[in-house]
Structure 1
């Protein structure tokens, strides 16, 4: 299956809800209707054999109307085809896809930790990289880098080192 064949199949299944395009030799599927997001991903897994989830990436765009964007990197070993599925929203809340690909568990937790995207329905959404006492999400564009003390003086994690400004 080529990307053009996949695009035609998805357009038939989800008319007016997707924008499939190729840019810089990468295949993108932009989900225009966020309500169809999980249905599109399920169709990709079941109908087009996208069994392997490579990555989940979230981006914060504070100056755009849709401030948050999540991109799912999928690969079909059977079809030798990679697609990037994008969905955007004004809020930082998106449905979890752990029920579709269990491997997305830690990927969603990482994006919650670093960007602050809440994946609704996630079985264990909590910090995975940063300590629990860390305030904020460092990969958001509005994260105050210069105005904050990175950590307090207590070595709460037992690292044996102290962080400063």
Structure 2
């Protein structure tokens, strides 16, 4: 099954909660947070996109954040980007750790850098920075208060 067919199947099932990202260089969809787990489970179990290649986020400034997930299959080779808009005043998105063990460290990194809370994560703690580090360094509003000499 081609990615166009996968996307068409998802659009038919979730017409109000999923949109195709037209300005992307790679196939991409944007889903509402409340269906993320269902969509990701379908991609994994029904469409064979069973490898979580990447999980990250982007700070869009006043618009909030965008959580980004790349899922793929090897045979046939296919990759799809699944995005979720995350409000800045409530930066929460469902955890994918129940579907992919690899999501564990990737979600911790996104939490560490952006402050996005992955609800349902088994141990959402800092992974790169010290526990007493204040702030989230990949946020656009992060202020660098000191520099090394």
TM-score by length of 1: 0.83
**Cα distance change, pair 24–93 in 1 and its aligned pair in 2 (3 A):** closer
Residue correspondence of structure 1 range 153-164 to structure 2 within 5 A? 164=148
The answer to whether 1:2 aligns with 2:2 is yes
- In structure 1, the residue matched to 2:19 is 19
CA RMSD in angstroms, aligned pairs only = 1.6
Counterparts of 1:24 and 1:44, CA distance in 2: 19
The answer to whether 1:75 aligns with 2:72 is yes
- In structure 2, the residue matched to 1:60 is 59
- In structure 1, the residue matched to 2:30 is 30
Which ranges of structure 1 fall in alignment gaps of 5 or more residues? Answer: 151-163
SS of equivalent residue, structure 1 residue 35: helix
The structural deviation recorded for 1:23 is 4.1
**Cα distance change, pair 29–139 in 1 and its aligned pair in 2 (3 A):** same
Which ranges of structure 2 fall in alignment gaps of 5 or more residues? Answer: none
Counterparts of 2:115 and 2:85, CA distance in 1: 14
Counterparts of 1:82 and 1:23, CA distance in 2: 16
SS of equivalent residue, structure 2 residue 138: coil
Q: Which runs of 4+ in 1 moved over 3 A?
A: 21-25
- In structure 2, the residue matched to 1:102 is 101
- Indicate conservation of the 8 Å contact 2:61/2:140, yes or no: yes
The structural deviation recorded for 1:20 is 2.2
Counterparts of 1:133 and 1:16, CA distance in 2: 42
- In structure 2, the residue matched to 1:159 is none
**Cα distance change, pair 74–45 in 1 and its aligned pair in 2 (3 A):** same
